[in-house]
Chain A
């Protein structure tokens, strides 16, 4: 009896070690990236904004355009190499009928328009956020970022970084399908 207890006591450091090892190894093995942060706005409505259309200075939009159906809000810029990489996939998603709104973030209007003409425009609406005002309210900390927004205009998910087939099929599609 006493011996059994002694063995158990001696096992405690080992158990603590294993727990610690599992705790530390999980994010490593899962390949989670510490630079990818969860959005603080999940479950919240899109903040109010007034932004110009990228093609037309006189056309203005507000938060009501990000409501009424589920959609993707893609934050991009011409200075962002990863945005270039994901643009082809965005075109593919648009072809499949997904409703994508683009937000050009802290960029040059002419360059952005040329980009959309050269690489095709997957966006139903293109917002021009020159000063990064909406970007700040959305907690954007880099481009590209893609928000999943439900028909009520509530943010359900944010993906930071390259949007590609793997990410879409493994993660975003399921969240998109589950949205109202």
Chain B
């Protein structure tokens, strides 16, 4: 129980701090959303980080100040508040703006290379490596018949020379 009250105190302090910041910032673009529970809030924040603003190329809708990003934040809020799940909200946005709005693209024929590309690259590299190693090994160990005869002759000569 003590823990809970501590937690409450902390949140009150944070709220106070927040209100001070907000009032000094005046017109800063901070939307205030109220949620029924912590889970909803978490879902909302995850979604606004995950969803990409179609107008601004490379910003999520949490970061962007574009009019459209604001609209999408509001819509996301409405949908979350209605109790829709993360997937439902993402589906809603994808149905309207396409996969462009997702920062984690799904695996489709067009994007499969993003996953397979690096793997293929590694496999290709390993194949080349093994081939090289094999080649070098066979080069150092194998002598053809002529070379073998030459070697034997040399060895015999050497033996003879040392013994005489």
Interface residues, chain A, with chain B CB atoms under 8 Å away: 34-35, 37-41, 106, 132, 136-139, 141-142
**B94 and A136 form a contact (CB under 8 A):** no
**A40 and B98 form a contact (CB under 8 A):** yes
* B98 CB contacts on chain A under 8 angstroms: 37-40, 139
**B54 and A141 form a contact (CB under 8 A):** yes
For chain A, what secondary structure do more than half of its interface residues adopt (helix, strand, loop), or is it mixed? loop
B75 in contact (CB, < 8 A): yes
Instruction: Apart from A139-B98, A141-B68, A141-B97, list 6 A-B contacts with CB within 8 A.
Output: A35-B57, A38-B98, A40-B95, A106-B67, A132-B71, A142-B68
* B99 CB contacts on chain A under 8 angstroms: 40
Tell me which residues from 51 to 74 in chain B have a Cβ below 8 Å from any Cβ of chain A.
54-55, 57, 67-68, 71
Complex CA distance for A73 and B20, rounded to whole angstroms: 47
**A136 and B67 form a contact (CB under 8 A):** no
Residue picked from A34, A39, A139, A141, most chain B C-beta under 10 Å = A141
* A142 CB contacts on chain B under 8 angstroms: 55, 68
A37-B54 in contact given A132-B71, A136-B75 (Cβ < 8 Å): yes
Complex CA distance for A142 and B55, rounded to whole angstroms: 7
B 35-62 to A, binary, CB cutoff 8 A, 1 in contact else 0: 0000000000000000000110100000
Question: How near does chain A come to B72, taking the closest CB pair, in angstroms?
Answer: 8
Complex CA distance for A141 and B98, rounded to whole angstroms: 12
Set B71, B75, B95, B97: member contacting A37, Cβ < 8 A: B97
